[in-house]
Amino acid sequence: MFLRFLDTLFVRYGNTSGRADRAEFWCFHFFNLILIGGLCVLTLFLAGTLGDSLWAYLCHGAIVTFMFFLLVPAYCTTARRFHDFGWKSHAWIMFVPFLNFLLVIVGLIPGNSEVNEYGEPPTKTLSL
Whole-number pLDDT of residue 16: 84
Spell out the residues 6+ positions from residue 72 whose beta carbon is closer than 8 angstroms to its own: 13, 14
Residue 36 — φ and ψ, nearest 5°?
-70, -35
User: Is 124 in a helix, a strand, or coil?
Assistant: coil
Our measurement of the distance from residue 90's CA atom to the centroid of its chain's CA atoms, rounded to an integer in Å, reads 16
> What span, in angstroms and rounded, lies between the C-alpha atoms of 85 and 35?
28
DSSP class of 122: P
Q: Indicate whether 125 pLDDT > 80.
A: no
Q: Indicate whether 87 pLDDT > 80.
A: no
